Structures are given as C-alpha cells and as structure tokens.
C-alpha cells in the first residue's frame, strides 16, 4: 500500500511517455532509509509491464567478492 505516492508514481509514469527517450533509460532513486523507495520502484516497474532489472547493493568482504569473481552477486 502506498500513501501519498501519487506524485512519485506520476513522475515515474511520465518517463514512459517521453517523446525521444533514447535506447535506454536509467532511474536512480535516493532518500532517507526505510521510507519505501524500493517498494515504490518495484511497484511501478511491475505495473509498467516493461522488462526491468533491479540490483540490490550489499556489503560483503573483499575475500568473498574476489573468491566468486562476481562484483554484483544479487540480481533480481
């Protein structure tokens, strides 16, 4: 459930209506912790019915990263 997110959803929807968006678009969302940024973006992306990629940044040790050879282990 989203409370008072109409403005944010309208902005994100406006990105889909751009006249000349180019071959790709990137949306960066930032703000205070625990205010629903992730839920807002995933809700919008799922309802857009477009393909999307979501990365979650996680902290892990340098040893783990080098051992697996994968700098971004979580891709949803």
Decide: pTM greater than 0.75. no
How many whole angstroms separate alpha carbon 4 and alpha carbon 17?
22
pLDDT at residue 76 tops 50? no
**Taking residues 24-31, what's their average pLDDT?**
81
**Taking residues 9-37, what's their average pLDDT?**
85
């Amino acid at each position: 459930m989203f409370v008072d997110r109409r403005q944010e959803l309208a902005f994100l929807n406006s990105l889909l209506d751009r006249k000349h968006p180019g071959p790709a678009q990137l949306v960066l969302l930032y703000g205070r912790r625990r205010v629903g940024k992730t839920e807002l973006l995933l809700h919008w992306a799922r309802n857009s019915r477009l393909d999307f990629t979501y990365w979650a940044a996680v902290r892990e040790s340098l040893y783990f990263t080098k051992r697996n050879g994968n700098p971004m282990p979580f891709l949803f």
